[in-house]
């Protein structure tokens, strides 16, 4: 391979990677910001919409877009003013059961802080209009590899009170999984 051909291929690859990065960061899932939803309704209020018993159903997609896992979760939200606890119990199609307890703190102008035992540090979020974005780093269980992933959760409130949740999980900036789920009040 001649140096000129090699340089041309390397430059072409660099341009393709830069274009892919630009498209995903400026036009895709990661390009949204809470202000995009400021004028949407109904307005989401976590103290109302994540309160009491909830039912969650969803799927997890692998990096190639194929369903890797399905789950049903029971959740319970309890609030005291601006502080809440969301207890989750996931049942996966593999038979695995996973528990998580989120501690949520709501601040001024829709800001959210969130912690859980498998979350590194503190998640930061923002609610505006009918949407919530929450970003955090999570450590997967050992049986799932123990990897630490960066997560961006988006929750969108629908007219009937159901919340649509779309989350992307990244390692070294590369999407490795995506979750799509619904959350709604559990039937009485």
Domain range list for the chain: 1-31, 33-185
SS3 (DSSP) at 11: helix
In CATH, what is the architecture of 33-185?
Beta Barrel (2.40)
Q: How confident is the model at residue 21, as a pLDDT?
A: 58
Confidence check: pLDDT of 70 > 60: yes
d(CA 170, CA 176): 5
Residue 35 has pLDDT above 80, yes or no: yes
Tokens of 95: 């038979």
pTM of the model: 0.84
Residue 12's pLDDT band (cuts 50, 70, 90): confident
Cα separation, 149 vs 133, in Å, equals: 16
pLDDT reported for residue 9:
77
């Amino acid at each position: 391979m001649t140096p000129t051909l090699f340089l041309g291929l390397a430059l072409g690859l660099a341009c393709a990677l830069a274009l892919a990065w630009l498209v995903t960061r400026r036009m895709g899932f990661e390009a949204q910001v809470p202000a995009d939803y400021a004028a949407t309704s109904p307005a989401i209020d976590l103290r109302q919409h994540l309160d009491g018993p909830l039912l969650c159903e969803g799927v997890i997609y692998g990096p190639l877009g194929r369903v890797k896992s399905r789950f049903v979760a029971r959740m319970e939200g309890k609030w005291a003013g601006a502080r809440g606890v969301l207890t989750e119990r996931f049942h996966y199609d593999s038979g695995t059961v996973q528990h998580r307890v989120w501690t949520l703190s709501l601040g001024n102008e829709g800001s959210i802080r969130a912690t859980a035992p498998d979350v590194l540090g503190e998640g930061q979020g923002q609610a505006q209009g009918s949407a919530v974005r929450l970003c955090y780093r999570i450590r997967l269980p050992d049986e799932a590899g123990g990897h630490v992933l960066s997560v961006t959760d988006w929750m969108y409130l629908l007219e009937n009170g159901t919340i649509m949740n779309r989350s992307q999980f990244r390692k070294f900036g590369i999407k490795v999984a995506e979750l799509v789920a619904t959350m709604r009040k559990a039937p009485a």
